Structure 1
Amino acid sequence: MTRVLIADDDDVVRDVVRRYLERDGHDVATAHDGTEALRLLSSQHIDVAVLDVMMPGPDGLSLCMNLRRGADYTVPVILLTALGEEDDRIAGLEAGADDYLTKPFSPRELALRVRSVLRRSPASAGVLPQDIVSGDLAVSTASHSVTVAGRPVNLTNREFDLLVFFLTHADTLFTREDLLKRVWRWDFGDLSTVTVHVKRLRSKLGEHHRIQTVWGRGYLWAAGAPGPGR
């Protein structure tokens, strides 16, 4: 059974979301602030963390950033925010969140998004080579690890799935809509999610990335030498 953490200072939100997720068959842990959420994340196995951006203690954004600094902690994170501006949503994605939901939200939609982040993506499912090499970039799908010139690179689950998808579909152009559906199986979502994850991959891989932007159309991973495509 998967264990989901719900961290929100609103008692009603925690209770309603907990009931929906338990109905879906999840084991649910709850926290009323960031301090309690951090304790649970440090002491228990959590499969998905749903974090309120505005809760007291370390807020959801801070918790997400701290989790992503840990080399081995790749738990999927969904942020809950009352802020609806694009810059705020992008800030959450850049902090390493896998998804976000703006309040007020449908508990049913949150349950669907939890199911989505738990589902193994096509990029990491099926028959894939255990080792993928592109120049100095080496990926192990078996150990879920990435190295660049022998140096370990810490990727979130979403970033790892996107990289594997690119590597196994080199020189093929994909729109942002394609990537949402084919990499993460999302039939809904903000296209800026793709933009932010591409940006983060480029930053983490540095000059070794081969992601090219085809303006107005989408992205592709060039099989040739790395280039500065942005």
Structure 2
Amino acid sequence: MEAIATVLIADDDPSLRRTTRIILETNGYRVIEAGDGDEALRLLGNARPDVALVDVVMPTACGYEVLGGVRDNWDGAPPILMMTGYASVDAVVELMREGAFDCLAKPFGERDLLDRIERALGLESPLEDGESPSPEKLSRREIEVLLLMREGMTNRDIAARMRLGQRTLDEYVKRLCKKLGVSNRTGAVAWSYRHTMVDLDSATAFPDGAQVEVEAGSEG
């Protein structure tokens, strides 16, 4: 049977590469491996995988150097998903600015891995309850929360800035993550860097012209 796509796994941990390979091959993907950054760059140039999983910390060339090498040397490079054990919002923001398609926080589960790869390949990735992500239905408040998350603010700081109770703010975060089809706030920040975000004074939120859903009783 023909493979769905070819995935490069670049990580200096043989155990992680082996486990990830098993998951991907079981689900129909062809896998190639690199144990360091230099080998990852070589395979990205020669083997031309459809998507790459690249660890941030590796020998010879780190994940940032791999991103830079791809950005500076190749047109039409595959989407690169960065793997990191330090998935703070600040780290995700920096990686997305450097050209990463998305970030995976270690340790990651099978479903999270497959969802991110499917998204990178442009395949359908429905939510568990069967609903599709609906970014066009973010309210103005949810967009404001997302923009503040991009600035690296904690939930507590955002609640204070927006004059909301902590429980109310947590509910906003939960709802916007569900609408975007991500599992947590770092995933939401990563999503925001793959899409044009809204100017809060604008009538539309996204480049396809989808209208922002304004909550009843919310401030303009």
TM-score range, shorter chain: 0.5 to 0.7
| 1:191 aligned residue | 188
Question: Which of 112, 118, 121 matches 1:109?
Answer: 112
Percent identical among aligned pairs is: 30
More strand by share: 1
After TM superposition, the score normalised by the length of structure 2 is 0.61
Question: Which of 18, 23, 35 matches 1:15?
Answer: 18
| 2:57 aligned residue | 54
Question: Which of 5, 25, 31 matches 1:28?
Answer: 31
Identify if the C-alpha distance between structure 1 residues 105 and 222 changes in structure 2 by more than 3 Å, giving closer, same or farther.
closer
| Distance (whole Å) between structure 1 residues aligned to residue 48 and residue 208 of structure 2 | 38
| Distance (whole Å) between structure 2 residues aligned to residue 83 and residue 218 of structure 1 | 34
The Cα of 1:218 is off from its aligned counterpart by 7.7
| Distance (whole Å) between structure 2 residues aligned to residue 82 and residue 187 of structure 1 | 18
| 2:121 aligned residue | 118
Identify if the C-alpha distance between structure 1 residues 220 and 114 changes in structure 2 by more than 3 Å, giving closer, same or farther.
closer
More helix by share: 2
| Distance (whole Å) between structure 1 residues aligned to residue 177 and residue 120 of structure 2 | 12
Q: Are residue 88 (structure 1) and residue 91 (structure 2) matched?
A: yes
Gaps of 5+ in 1: 122-168, 202-210, 224-230
1:109 maps to amino acid? D
Post-superposition Cα deviations, 1:62-107, rounded to whole Å, max 9, x if no partner, equal: 2112212345233111000011322111111111111111112224
1:168-179 equivalences under 5 Å are 175=143
| Superposed CA RMSD | 3.5
Q: State the aligned residue count.
A: 162
Gaps of 5+ in 2: 125-135, 147-172, 210-220
Q: Say which SS state the counterpart of residue 205 (structure 2) adopts.
A: strand
Question: Which of 191, 194, 199 matches 1:213?
Answer: 199
1:6 maps to amino acid? I
Q: Say which SS state the counterpart of residue 21 (structure 1) adopts.
A: helix
| Distance (whole Å) between structure 2 residues aligned to residue 67 and residue 86 of structure 1 | 23
The Cα of 1:186 is off from its aligned counterpart by 3.4
The Cα of 1:179 is off from its aligned counterpart by 9.8
Question: Which of 39, 44, 66 matches 2:69?
Answer: 66
| 2:47 aligned residue | 44
1:13 maps to amino acid? L
Contact 1:11–1:32 (8 Å) recurs in 2: yes
Identify if the C-alpha distance between structure 1 residues 187 and 80 changes in structure 2 by more than 3 Å, giving closer, same or farther.
closer
Identify if the C-alpha distance between structure 1 residues 6 and 213 changes in structure 2 by more than 3 Å, giving closer, same or farther.
same
